[in-house]
Amino acid sequence: MAQSAVKKVVLAYSGGLDTSVILKWLQEEYGCEVVTFTADIGQGEELEPARAKAEAAGVKEIYIDDLREEFVRDFVYPMFRANAVYEGEYLLGTSIARPLIAKRLIEIAAETGADAISHGATGKGNDQVRFELGAYALNPEIKIIAPWREWDLLSREKLMAYAAKHGIGVEQKREGNKSPYSMDANLLHISYEGYDLEDPWTQPGDAMWRWSVSPEQAPDQATEIELTFERGDITAIDGKAMSPAEVLAELNRIGGANGIGRADIVENRYVGMKSRGCYETPGGTIMLKAHRAIESLTLDREAAHLKDELMPRYASLVYNGYWFAPERRMLQAAIDESQQVVNGVVRLKLYKGNVSVLGRRSETNSLFDESIATFEEDAGAYDQTDATGFIRLNSLRLRVAGRKRG
Amino acid sequence: MAQSAVKKVVLAYSGGLDTSVILKWLQEEYGCEVVTFTADIGQGEELEPARAKAEAAGVKEIYIDDLREEFVRDFVYPMFRANAVYEGEYLLGTSIARPLIAKRLIEIAAETGADAISHGATGKGNDQVRFELGAYALNPEIKIIAPWREWDLLSREKLMAYAAKHGIGVEQKREGNKSPYSMDANLLHISYEGYDLEDPWTQPGDAMWRWSVSPEQAPDQATEIELTFERGDITAIDGKAMSPAEVLAELNRIGGANGIGRADIVENRYVGMKSRGCYETPGGTIMLKAHRAIESLTLDREAAHLKDELMPRYASLVYNGYWFAPERRMLQAAIDESQQVVNGVVRLKLYKGNVSVLGRRSETNSLFDESIATFEEDAGAYDQTDATGFIRLNSLRLRVAGRKRG
Amino acid sequence: MAQSAVKKVVLAYSGGLDTSVILKWLQEEYGCEVVTFTADIGQGEELEPARAKAEAAGVKEIYIDDLREEFVRDFVYPMFRANAVYEGEYLLGTSIARPLIAKRLIEIAAETGADAISHGATGKGNDQVRFELGAYALNPEIKIIAPWREWDLLSREKLMAYAAKHGIGVEQKREGNKSPYSMDANLLHISYEGYDLEDPWTQPGDAMWRWSVSPEQAPDQATEIELTFERGDITAIDGKAMSPAEVLAELNRIGGANGIGRADIVENRYVGMKSRGCYETPGGTIMLKAHRAIESLTLDREAAHLKDELMPRYASLVYNGYWFAPERRMLQAAIDESQQVVNGVVRLKLYKGNVSVLGRRSETNSLFDESIATFEEDAGAYDQTDATGFIRLNSLRLRVAGRKRG
Amino acid sequence: MAQSAVKKVVLAYSGGLDTSVILKWLQEEYGCEVVTFTADIGQGEELEPARAKAEAAGVKEIYIDDLREEFVRDFVYPMFRANAVYEGEYLLGTSIARPLIAKRLIEIAAETGADAISHGATGKGNDQVRFELGAYALNPEIKIIAPWREWDLLSREKLMAYAAKHGIGVEQKREGNKSPYSMDANLLHISYEGYDLEDPWTQPGDAMWRWSVSPEQAPDQATEIELTFERGDITAIDGKAMSPAEVLAELNRIGGANGIGRADIVENRYVGMKSRGCYETPGGTIMLKAHRAIESLTLDREAAHLKDELMPRYASLVYNGYWFAPERRMLQAAIDESQQVVNGVVRLKLYKGNVSVLGRRSETNSLFDESIATFEEDAGAYDQTDATGFIRLNSLRLRVAGRKRG
């Protein structure tokens, strides 16, 4: 890409060291105007310092958006309707945030007349793919600058040297609090990569975890909560109506306090390598368990099984960055169609890392019929002799084959 | 089925009240000889009393088999290679035992010249289907007598009255120890149905559970274990080689002691109704977590994803009783093909209901490549600029579509 | 089912011998009032004789409905959006008509206060399942009378004897024209079963076929047509706008004249047996080929592949009678989501049994980009070096595994 | 890739203009030794001229292999067991040949001590991906030189100029016979791309097609053949045993003479673009139809349906070049497991582009049971009342849901 071609670039900017270096590098290397975009998606950091730093760096157009409600309502909730889990373990906390950032980058580019966007994701990871697939899907003509794939600042030392040379962010190195891990956080989760996690046999120290206590340190007393579902989404906790972002924040608080939602996995990146990651997803872990429980009561068997069979593909699409692709929309249409009936209440016990379902009920949509399921006489609600024909015909193909084998 | 047609029937016989009544009822109603078959599949009950009772009932051919190794080696282990979970929660503990019973019933029928088999499963449940599909697949000409679908002893009272009238099993009602739940157990799990579980909003009392302590009552100190996998199967615990049944028994012991493996779910039966079930699967819960962990290190990404997509169907096949059907064999062939490389060791922590992976390693088959995955400079092991082309071409279809949309 | 329980039954009535016998038998055996329902779904028979016969049999409520437009618009067209083919060959001509009949039976039962419905499908076939699953899904309390599963008129001779005894339909045996095959027809197809087809090695005589000439007898001159698609449905032939039923009737005419749409297959019935069937589906064969052609131009690759993977399941659902089940609705939602962009024109050549695509175009939604696909220099529309990174990263997992194997 | 790094390269060499230019270019640009590899995979061209040209170009190690039997036995036949069709139309004729070429390139590199391979596929197509994924899977350390992605000879004019400058192949331009299309041929098919096909609305001239007559020009008399299958593979034609390559060559001859196997499609390339291709696959078209027919008689329903659901993914894997990937091996294991019973004979009629099944039989494995399927009384082979229970339980979930809806 000819560098001279870029006139104005929108940078996904956190205010941290890396994106501060990128901001400077874009100004230097591309000689173009930089618009910064900083989003609150629940990562739990102050955003105003980012504004001050951007201003100090000479940025004229500074976007700071609170996207928490949009994030949960339009991305997290639809994904949880699918019970999406990647490779049996990962709740896609980072993956699901990227398309929203890509969407805002493209919107801001349109608003500011920028012809390019830029991000701080490395050339080895999934996030570059998610940002860029999202951006290209929404604006195929956008130019994308991925500094980590272009520059030669490929080690922390070189990056620090560049920062020092350009007077960037000495104050940012609050070394006491500095984690040796590469982290990412939003309302759904916080993730850890790198450092001692690079050996999959090594257990990380307990100091790594930030959002949850360990099960050992969680209270000896269990916490019970009731979650209300409407069309597959949680709309109330203990009967109190809440917005999507409020629900997730509250479940994170309760879950984290009870040692819930830690995962330590080796996962397969879309770019082809295996990597080790640790995740804390307290609220999401609770949501998944509860959603499955309310579905178990209200969803038709074959609808549920179809969802289960489609889920791994849906999860891969989200993981790989295809949120805005037509195949994800198709699967979402099927999933959403199924959720009309997913209404009711789930009662949960949270205790030292465990989420247990205590009960589930649905006034309007329960398909559980005690008169049929009972072990006692059912007064004719179910005719046991029906089972004979059911079995006879389901076995017919097997019996014919058996006769042939002789 | 004309009752006169049956000459000799092999009955799956536990020695309990129900099958004792069935034994008598078969003798009375069908006027045929009854062969009893009692299997040790790890349910934890003495089998010799069954022999005595069968003898007392005039049975001449009595089979009492220890099938524990065959059960785990040929049924449980192949199923766990698939990471099979039904409806996101159920580890198929009852389902996987039924085809083995069906197989032995058919084998014994051949040995004894019997023309029929019989079982004590009700007309509302899955087990009748599993027994009979298995039996028909192995011998299409076998006659099957399912008393619960034929007789009128459809309540516990009527059954007890019949037993009393025929002098059956007064001593069997050890009421002090008698559970109000309908239970089934084998080396993989114990299950509970009926009684207060028939209301899905009600939480069962803690006295129901038999194999595990509650997380609350589990030790405050965590237990760590190392599991060795060869071709997807566990062959050693903490370095000590064990047979399949020994592995599962030991994991049940350790898991149960740490409050692991309880599930309380609403599931969809193959016969079309929803039912509530509670399960304790301590060893299986550990095995699943560990198997996924060793696969995460050794299995190719697309092989793993294909397994994940096929799994729900495989689980449904096992749940529904199609173990001996060609489609299950096809899926098994695919799964087993993938397991050649699933070799290594997983280290786990067990603590109050939680199974956590502490580490995983494989000398021979790890696909984790630190030189590629590292956050530090990788000395050329991975060329970050490759990602540009990867993203550009993966987005091409989205960009073309975006241009068309304008 | 206690026969006395039925007060009024709606019978799917063709006026032919079988349903005339059923009409009488219902009156005799159930002593209940019978409502007849006769539908024009394009089977090509006069319906008024059915009215006269029903009146003669004392029926007071006679429904004769022209359902052709509803049939094609709400059933055939949605199914063709899925490219549904059962077992690689069968275009589901009979299957797709059954849910519509079931729906009308239930509607008429509601209108007339009937508590039961009845149909003339045998106990061996799929149609009983399709009628009854559809009916139960729409009204779970409906009673269903399936005479072929109840009576003892199980051979043609017995049926004829019953008819003769009750003065039914001697005039109906127009033996000159009488086919020895069991046939079913509607706007989508005509089917043949039984007689010499019961040996899968035997070729039926050419006299069997009714809707199409053989390829040998088709014109030596090809016919060319242009079909216009809007959102996946054909809305015009050769530029002339037509209703759905008009489209299908016209394509049947053109296709039949050119020897198109014959199939001779062995298929797997839902009830567990294999059966031989011959089908003529001239219009449907053309529609399928044309729909795939317009999709090839307008549909995203992954959307198309997802459709292809879901199709066999969708086809099985339709074949098995689950049109009104939630899992079919879910798949339909996914499919319909994909069809927004399926707009354009396909040009076809019809010649002696062959349907060939001559061209396809879409002003609004073509994703074919000549500037990218060209073999000539593309002026930068596509950067060939992108392929290097694409291949390098797609092969990364294979290379890592290869290194491990050594 | 540092050009100096390559010492010896194995080139997939046809002797045509393109690969002759590449041969020279490799010698010039890389200054390395070139080994040529020319394979007979049934493309129908003399191979000895390639030897002469290679010798003239100074090549010392020249490989000319007849791979026809290996090609059909180990690649085409396994693929046809899967009934693989890409996007509903394409029989994967080019795709399936590429992994064999890749395999031989890697083998020859090992034999000759070469550290690199090279091919003549362009940077826009699928073949580069197939060659390179195959090569990397078999030897992760191999270097791959793809001249079309490196050089600047991106138009035919530039290529010709280079050829002229280096004295290459003036005699090769037999302009009279020169097709304007880009073609590829092997025993399975011949393909055409480019030129007037770049407009998907344009019909190619009849002169383009080389392997088959048009249906119009095919004989007015039909041809009948019988194909014998063993474990899913054709082993005899009209009772005459033949090797795999003989079978395919003979079916190509017969099919081509009857106007069979032409396809004209728009397909989705793995690199992200749509492209137009025309194909002649006479033998393959016959094989697919016949294989489905013998499976219809011998394969269990659920095995067949599972194959149908897996097929699109299998076809995509082959199309995309993942023949040597573990997920393809997994699917193949499942497919091959199913083919044990696919034995028998299929009788076909070939007539002016049509392949019609006249009959299918299997002494050993037919699952067609006339005594069950018959429309006449079946003497108790099938109990029609079984269907009642079958339908009642299959509808139970729908009835419960219907009651809930009210």
Against a cut of 0.90, is the pTM above it?
Answer: yes
Asked whether residue B287 falls in the same domain as residue B264, the answer is yes
> Which residue type sits at C370?
E
Q: Is D405 part of a structural domain of the chain? A: no
pLDDT (0 to 100) of residue C2: 44
* For residue C65, pLDDT beyond 90: yes
Q: Which of D299, D359, D384 is nearest to C196 (CA)?
A: D359
Which of A68, A81, A104, A127 is catalytic? The answer is A127
Q: Is D313 part of a structural domain of the chain? A: no
CB of D362 closer than 8 Å to CB of D294: yes
pLDDT (0 to 100) of residue C343: 98
* For residue D210, pLDDT beyond 80: yes
Asked whether residue B186 falls in the same domain as residue B165, the answer is no
Domain count, chain B: 2
* Residue C406's pLDDT band (cuts 50, 70, 90): confident
Q: Which of A138, A361, A403 sits opposite B200 (nearest CB)?
A: A361
pLDDT (0 to 100) of residue B1: 43
Comparing A363 with B4, which gets the higher pLDDT? A363
Asked whether residue C238 falls in the same domain as residue C352, the answer is yes
**pLDDT, tens digit, 9 for 90 and up, residues D23-65:** 999 999 999 999 999 999 999 999 999 999 999 999 999 999 9
Domain of D228, CATH number, reads 3.90.1260.10
Q: Is A17 annotated as a binding residue?
A: yes
D132 vs C contacts (CB less than 8 Å): 391, 395
**pLDDT, tens digit, 9 for 90 and up, residues C7-62:** 999 999 999 999 999 999 999 999 999 999 999 999 999 999 999 999 999 999 99
B394 vs A contacts (CB less than 8 Å): 129, 133
- Cβ contact D400–B300 (<8 Å): no
**pLDDT, tens digit, 9 for 90 and up, residues D229-287:** 999 999 999 999 999 999 999 999 999 999 999 999 999 999 999 999 999 999 999 99
pLDDT (0 to 100) of residue D232: 98
Q: Is D312 part of a structural domain of the chain? A: no
A265 vs B contacts (CB less than 8 Å): 293, 296, 357
B382 vs C contacts (CB less than 8 Å): 396
Q: Is B323 part of a structural domain of the chain? A: no
Asked whether residue C13 falls in the same domain as residue C106, the answer is yes
- Cβ contact D397–A365 (<8 Å): no
CB of A347 closer than 8 Å to CB of A289: no
Q: Is C174 annotated as a binding residue?
A: no
C302 vs A contacts (CB less than 8 Å): 322, 325-327
Which of A51, A68, A81, A98 is catalytic? The answer is A98
* For residue D172, pLDDT beyond 70: no
Question: Which residues of D have a catalytic role annotated?
Answer: 18, 98, 127, 182
**pLDDT, tens digit, 9 for 90 and up, residues C185-208:** 999 999 999 999 999 999 999 999
* Residue A170's pLDDT band (cuts 50, 70, 90): low
D372 vs A contacts (CB less than 8 Å): 396, 400
In the predicted model, what is the mean pLDDT of chain C? 95
* For residue A158, pLDDT beyond 70: yes
Q: Is A377 annotated as a binding residue?
A: no
pLDDT (0 to 100) of residue B5: 85
Q: Which of A270, A263, A349 is nearest to A91 (CA)?
A: A263
Q: Which of D301, D388, D400 sits opposite A397 (nearest CB)?
A: D301
* For residue D5, pLDDT beyond 60: yes
pLDDT (0 to 100) of residue A227: 98
In the predicted model, what is the mean pLDDT of chain D? 95
- Minimum distance, in Å, between the CA of residue A66 and any CA atom of chain C: 31
Asked whether residue B96 falls in the same domain as residue B52, the answer is yes
**pLDDT, tens digit, 9 for 90 and up, residues D60-92:** 999 999 999 999 999 999 999 999 999 999 999
Q: Which of A172, A190, A214 is the last residue of a domain?
A: A172
- As a whole number of angstroms, the longest Cα–Cα distance in chain C is 86
* For residue B131, pLDDT beyond 50: yes
* For residue C3, pLDDT beyond 70: no
Taking CA–CA distances from A83, the nearest residue in chain B reads B88
* For residue C172, pLDDT beyond 90: no
User: What's the CA gap between D192 and D198, in Å, rounded?
Assistant: 11
Q: Which of A200, D233, A171, A90 is nearest to B367 (CA)?
A: A200
Asked whether residue B54 falls in the same domain as residue B188, the answer is no
- Cβ contact B309–A313 (<8 Å): yes
User: What's the CA gap between B330 and D304, in Å, rounded?
Assistant: 11
* For residue A393, pLDDT beyond 90: yes
Q: Per-residue pLDDT averaged across A363-385, rounded?
A: 87
Asked whether residue B168 falls in the same domain as residue B267, the answer is no
User: What's the CA gap between B311 and D98, in Å, rounded?
Assistant: 31
- Cβ contact A331–C334 (<8 Å): yes
Q: Is A299 annotated as a binding residue?
A: no
**pLDDT, tens digit, 9 for 90 and up, residues B21-37:** 999 999 999 999 999 99
In the predicted model, what is the mean pLDDT of chain A? 95
Chain C with chain D: Cβ pairs closer than 8 A? 286
- Cβ contact A302–C326 (<8 Å): yes
Chain B neighbours, 3+ Cβ pairs < 8 A: A, C, D
Percent of chain C with pLDDT over 70: 97
* For residue A375, pLDDT beyond 80: no
Q: Which of C130, C141, C150, C48 is nearest to C319 (CA)?
A: C130
pLDDT (0 to 100) of residue C52: 95
* For residue D1, pLDDT beyond 80: no
- Cβ contact A396–C271 (<8 Å): yes
Percent of chain D with pLDDT over 90: 89
Asked whether residue C131 falls in the same domain as residue C199, the answer is no
Asked whether residue A14 falls in the same domain as residue A124, the answer is yes
Q: Per-residue pLDDT averaged across C298-322, rounded?
A: 98
* For residue C364, pLDDT beyond 70: yes
Ramachandran category for residue B79: left, alpha or beta (phi over 0 → left; psi -120 to 50 → alpha): alpha
Q: Is A331 part of a structural domain of the chain? A: no
User: What's the CA gap between A63 and A108, in Å, rounded?
Assistant: 8
CA atoms within 13 A on the CB side of B319: 23
Chain B with chain D: Cβ pairs closer than 8 A? 82
* Residue C326's pLDDT band (cuts 50, 70, 90): very high
pLDDT (0 to 100) of residue D154: 83
* Residue B3's pLDDT band (cuts 50, 70, 90): very low
Q: Per-residue pLDDT averaged across B158-178, rounded?
A: 75
Percent of chain C with pLDDT over 90: 89
User: What's the CA gap between B305 and B282, in Å, rounded?
Assistant: 26
Mutate to test the interface with B, among C268, C400, C403, C405 (most CBs of B within 10 A): C400
Asked whether residue C57 falls in the same domain as residue C157, the answer is yes
Domain of D137, CATH number, reads 3.40.50.620
Mapping DSSP to helix (H, G, I), strand (E, B) and coil, where does residue A357 land? strand
* For residue A323, pLDDT beyond 60: yes
* Residue A329's pLDDT band (cuts 50, 70, 90): very high
Instruction: Classify burial at C363, counting beta carbons within 10 Å of its beta carbon; exposed 0-12, middle 13-18, buried 19 or more.
Output: exposed
Percent of chain A with pLDDT over 90: 89
* Residue C177's pLDDT band (cuts 50, 70, 90): low
Q: Is D227 part of a structural domain of the chain? A: yes
- Cβ contact D401–A301 (<8 Å): no
Domain coverage including residue D116: 3-81+91-172
Intra-chain end-to-end CA distance of chain C, in Å: 70
* For residue D3, pLDDT beyond 50: no
Among chain D, residues having any CB pair with chain A shorter than 8 Å are 300-302, 364-367, 369, 372, 382-383, 385-390, 392-394, 396-398, 400-401, 403-404
β-strand partners of B277: B265
* Residue A305's pLDDT band (cuts 50, 70, 90): very high
- Minimum distance, in Å, between the CA of residue C299 and any CA atom of chain A: 9
Mapping DSSP to helix (H, G, I), strand (E, B) and coil, where does residue B153 land? coil
Q: Is D386 part of a structural domain of the chain? A: no
* For residue B284, pLDDT beyond 70: yes
D215 vs C contacts (CB less than 8 Å): 351-352, 354
Asked whether residue B55 falls in the same domain as residue B158, the answer is yes
Tokens read off for C130: 């399709």
- Minimum distance, in Å, between the CA of residue B74 and any CA atom of chain D: 18
* Residue D4's pLDDT band (cuts 50, 70, 90): low
- Cβ contact A268–B376 (<8 Å): no
- Cβ contact B366–C393 (<8 Å): no
Residues 6+ apart with CB under 8 A from B164: B170
For A307, phi and psi rounded to 5 degrees? -60, -45
User: What's the CA gap between D303 and D281, in Å, rounded?
Assistant: 27
Taking CA–CA distances from B395, the nearest residue in chain A reads A133
* Residue D327's pLDDT band (cuts 50, 70, 90): very high
Asked whether residue A225 falls in the same domain as residue A153, the answer is no
Question: Which residues of C have a catalytic role annotated?
Answer: 18, 98, 127, 182
Cα pseudo-dihedral B249, B255, B257, B261, rounded to 10: -120
* Residue C171's pLDDT band (cuts 50, 70, 90): low
Q: Per-residue pLDDT averaged across D195-207, rounded?
A: 96
Q: Which of A378, A294, D394, A304 is nearest to B198 (CA)?
A: A378
* Residue B361's pLDDT band (cuts 50, 70, 90): very high
**pLDDT, tens digit, 9 for 90 and up, residues B78-116:** 999 999 999 999 999 999 999 999 999 999 999 999 999
CB of D119 closer than 8 Å to CB of D146: yes
Question: Which range (B100-104, B154-158, B281-285, D11-15) has the least confidence?
Answer: B154-158
- Cβ contact D367–A400 (<8 Å): yes
CB of C142 closer than 8 Å to CB of C134: no
C386 vs B contacts (CB less than 8 Å): 388-389, 392-393
Q: Which of D146, D172, D198 is the last residue of a domain?
A: D172
pLDDT (0 to 100) of residue B7: 96
Q: Which of B57, B12, B4 is nearest to B32 (CA)?
A: B4
- Cβ contact B396–D271 (<8 Å): yes
- Minimum distance, in Å, between the CA of residue D204 and any CA atom of chain C: 8
